[in-house]
Amino acid sequence: MLSTILAGTLQWYLNGQPIASATQPAYIAEVPGAYTVVVDVEGCASVPSDPINVVITDVAQVEDFTFSHYPNPVTDELHINIPNNQGSKVSIVGTDGRIMKEVDTSSEEVMITVKDYPQGMYVVRIGGMVKRFFKN
C-alpha cells in the first residue's frame, strides 16, 4: 500500500500516467511500476513525489478464498466474514502501514471494535488479500 500524509487534492500516477480514480491518501498497488503522487492545494500542484518502484515477486495461489466485511463505512464494530475459514490471521492496517489490530482465528465471523480509531481509510488484510474500509 502506498500512502501520503499530505492534504489537498491528490492524484496517483503509474509510470507517469494518472491512475483513474486514484485520488485518496492511500493506494494499493496491484501492478509493478513506478508510482508517484501529485498534491494540488488551492490550484497549486506539487512536483511529482519521488517514485516508489513496486515489484511483484509472487502471487499467492489461493483456491476459493474470499472474505467480506461490513458495514462500510463503519462507526463502532467491523464484522468480517471468512467462509470455510481453516485458520487465518486478520490484520487491520492504517494508511501509514501501522498494524492497528491482529487476530488469529479459525472462526467464520470476526468482530473488531474500531470505535476508538481515528477517522480515515484502513484495510483488512487476510493472507495476501486486502479490502478497504472507512472509519467514520
What percent of the residues of the chain are helix, what percent strand, and what percent coil, each to the nearest 5? 0, 50, 50
Cis amide leading into 71 (omega within 30): yes
Residue 62 lies in a domain: no
Q: What does the pLDDT read at residue 74?
A: 96
Indicate the pairing of strand 2-3 with strand 26-27.
antiparallel
User: What does the alpha-carbon distance between residue 112 and residue 76 come to, in Å, rounded to a whole number?
Assistant: 9
Residue 96's alpha-carbon distances to 4, 116, 123, in angstroms, are 8, 17, 11
- The predicted structure's pLDDT at residue 26: 81
pTM reported for the whole predicted model: 0.57
Evaluate the CA torsion angle 5, 10, 12, 13 in order and state its sign: negative
The domain in which residue 126 lies consists of 68-135
If asked whether residues 72 and 50 sit together in one domain, one would say: no
When divided into structural domains, the chain yields a total of: 2
**Residues of the chain below pLDDT 50:** 62
Q: What pLDDT, on a 0 to 100 scale, did the predictor assign at position 98?
A: 83
* 61 within domain boundaries: no
